[in-house]
């Protein structure tokens, strides 16, 4: 075997080893990218569920303010919900699916309630107050259902 053939075989071997290492590195990088995407998705999912848990808590505070006949504080809390719901709906739209329409309805409910509570004669009669409390309880139920669905999807994805 002459030196020229030996050098050709050595170069071919080094090239083959380099190709195998490159393929292994690409495969590993692809797996790492997939894992990073899954982790990012789980973080967004967790953030969405935390956000809707906070919305539910704000709605529960609103009920307490209505029950304690504090219309001005309740109007502020309802206004907070009106500002926050569309923001969270847009931010977490890919996780909400059909719940997006439900959130639009809740936003409208809180908007009407905030306007009513900000008026000169907010919920003057007991039945008006009870009706508002009942509507907010319905909204809490809806927010709790959305929160539960987000948690269920998070649990499915982390398994």
H helices of 68-125, in order, are 71-91, 93-96, 99-118
Separation between Cα atoms, residue 104 and residue 56, nearest integer Å: 15
Provide the pLDDT for residue 97. 78
Separation between Cα atoms, residue 62 and residue 57, nearest integer Å: 9
Tens-digit pLDDT profile for residues 51-69: 989 999 999 999 999 999 8
In the block, residue with structure tokens 């071919």: 12
Separation between Cα atoms, residue 9 and residue 27, nearest integer Å: 27
Tell me the CB-side half-sphere exposure of residue 91, using CA atoms within 13 A. 15
Tens-digit pLDDT profile for residues 19-48: 777 887 788 877 778 877 777 777 888 888
pLDDT at residue 134 above 80? Answer: yes
CA torsion sign for 96, 97, 99, 102 is: positive
Q: pTM for this one?
A: 0.73
CATH of 42-158, one of 1.10.3470, 1.20.120, 1.10.287, 3.30.70: 1.20.120
Helix (H, G, I), strand (E, B) or coil at 2: coil
Token pair for residue 7?
A: 């050098």
Neighbour count for residue 139 (Cβ, 10 Å) = 24
For the chain, what are the domain ranges?
42-158
- Contact (Cβ atoms closer than 8 angstroms) between residue 109 and residue 135: yes
Residue 4: pLDDT band by 50, 70, 90 thresholds? low
């Amino acid at each position: 075997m002459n030196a020229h053939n030996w050098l050709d075989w050595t170069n071919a071997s080094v090239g083959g080893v380099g190709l195998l290492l490159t393929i292994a590195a690409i495969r590993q990088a692809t797996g790492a990218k997939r894992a990073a995407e899954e982790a990012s998705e789980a973080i967004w999912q967790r953030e969405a569920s935390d956000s809707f848990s906070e919305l539910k808590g704000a709605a529960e505070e609103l009920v307490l303010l209505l029950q304690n006949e504090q219309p001005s504080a309740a109007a502020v809390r309802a206004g907070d919900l009106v500002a926050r719901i569309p923001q969270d709906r847009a931010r977490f739209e890919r996780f909400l699916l059909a719940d997006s329409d439900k959130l639009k309805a809740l936003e409208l409910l809180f908007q009407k309630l905030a306007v009513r509570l900000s008026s000169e004669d907010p919920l003057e009669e007991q039945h008006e107050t009870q009706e508002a409390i009942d509507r907010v309880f319905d909204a809490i139920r809806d927010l709790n259902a959305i929160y539960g669905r987000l948690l269920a999807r998070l649990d499915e994805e982390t398994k």
